[in-house]
Chains A and B, each alone.
Chain A
Amino acid sequence: MTQFLHKAMPLRKIAVAVLAFATLSSPAFAAGEAKHPRSGGFSFESPFGTHDQAQLQRGYKVYREVCSVCHSMDLLSFRTLGERGGPFYDSHAASPAENRFVRAIAAEAQIADIDTETGEPIMRPGIAADRFPSPWPNRTAGAAANGGAYPPDLSVMTKARAGGADYIYSLLSGYVDPPAGLRVGVGQYYNPYMAGDMTPFWDGDPDKVPYGGFIAMPPVLSDGQVTFDDGTVASVDQMAKDVAAFISWASDPRATERKQTGMGVLAFLAIFAGLTYASYRKIWKNVAH
């Protein structure tokens, strides 16, 4: 038995080495740090976790009624909303494109197109295959309307920010009045969860530079701003949480499928490893080594 343990050692060393390498990839914060995001207690964060469909529907509503006024989601198609695991998945629909909710949502949107006969630019109702329309004709127009800061596209936002859904939730619900001694520029807002370095703008104790950074987005959420169809009270915290969940789903619509596949793959590999190890022991049985 001790011999076996001795042999297992290198593998443990490998694991340690790998862990050590993995931790190296996390970059350090800049001199000024952002506040560590609060947990949104999301259902989808665990290896087995899935999205809560009601939450995704509420989140979509917040996106549609609040965020989409300024933020595009260029990579999202209406049909994706009706895919398995999506906010409007309906097991009775033959395909996401024929999902009645998806068709109704798509038809509400006006999509820029070209008339097939006259060649004139027209606006037509959306179909399931269309992408979410952008609120801006182009990037420059979006920046010009927002004091020079283009509202970033939200398609992959939770993948594009360290902290993911927790970060979005914390940021949206985390606006506070700037601490006394912090000089906030015109068109800027203070948020402790925003990345940045407040040192140059801080007149107070140099050892107590506040967390966070400046953000061009004003605090947009207010209690009761959205009326949820399922009767959930639309507090700022609730809306921030729900829209963070929706953006998280939108950033990686295959996440649930991925994790479920992963469980199967790992189970298979575990059995495969067991069989191969038994075969290995048998083959090496008579070799002194």
Chain B
Amino acid sequence: MAESVVNPEGPHGEAPEGEATRRDFIHIAAGAAAAGAGVMAAWPLINSMNPAADTLALSTVEFDTSKVAEGMQLVITWQGKPVFIRNRTAAEVQQATSVNLSDLKDPQTDTERTKEGHQSTLVVLASCTHLGCIPTFGTGDYGGWFCPCHGSHYDVSGRIRKGPAPINLVVPEYEFTAGSTIRIG
């Protein structure tokens, strides 16, 4: 804008109409620096809304899965969200592994969703992949979970079988650190 307003003849455009506007490097450079300053000033403000260091420091949690009785689940919190830790019976594991993958909306085997040697332990985020409600334990048509909000049915491996949810309950990143203890995150 500046370069077109500046007029060699004077401030009020007394010069003849239609004079060609000269691209003036210095005005463009100053304008670009101003734009750059604006962006650089905005970034710390935007970034301040990202998780703070103390929040990030709590991003891992350790848990001893032997505390969960067979056939039951415990709910722990990780990053402020609930996580299901389910100790499945042999029958439930059998039921989960015998499912035909072609019957699944989001095909995944049970072994992909558990750790080797710890197949009875299932760790999934406790939020329905539809819109985030917490599914209830041991209900629904497939013996896993049922989400009361919009009627999604999950099986004992946490896979979506019926209802509006698009994908299986999410298995977070975790590993067995020592014996039955897991570290999530």
Contacts and interface: CB of A to CB of B under 8 A. Distances in A.
Interface of A: 77, 79-80, 83, 95-97, 117, 128-129, 268, 271-272, 275-276, 278-279, 282-283, 286-287
A180 B65 CA distance: 69
Nearest to B60: A97
A80 B56 CA distance: 12
Interface in B1-49: 2, 6-11, 24, 26-27, 29-30, 33-34, 36-37, 40
A283 B22 CA distance: 13
A77 to B, nearest CB: 7
Contacts of B7: 286
Interface in B73-116: none
Contacts of A286: 7-11
A128 B27 contact: no
19 contacts: A79-B53, A95-B56, A96-B53, A96-B57, A97-B56, A97-B57, A129-B58, A268-B36, A268-B37, A276-B30, A278-B26, A279-B2, A279-B29, A282-B26, A283-B2, A286-B7, A286-B8, A286-B11, A287-B11
Nearest to B10: A286
Looking at chain B's contact residues, is the secondary structure mostly helix, strand, loop, or mixed?
helix
Given A77-B57, A128-B57, A283 B6 contact: yes
A211 B6 CA distance: 66
A117 B54 CA distance: 25
B150 interface: no
Interface string B148-170: 00000000000000000000000
Nearest to A279: B30
Contacts of A95: 56
Nearest to A271: B33
A283 B8 CA distance: 9
B182 to A, nearest CB: 15
A271 B33 CA distance: 9
Contacts of B118: none
8 tightest CB-CB pairs across the interface, nearest first?
A: A129-B57, A279-B30, A275-B30, A272-B33, A278-B26, A276-B30, A275-B29, A79-B57
Residue among A77, A83, A117, A286 facing the most chain B CB atoms (10 A cut-off): A286
B59 to A, nearest CB: 8
Given A97-B60, A129-B58, A272 B37 contact: yes
A168 to B, nearest CB: 26
Contacts of A117: 67
Nearest to B5: A283
A119 to B, nearest CB: 14
A287 B26 contact: no
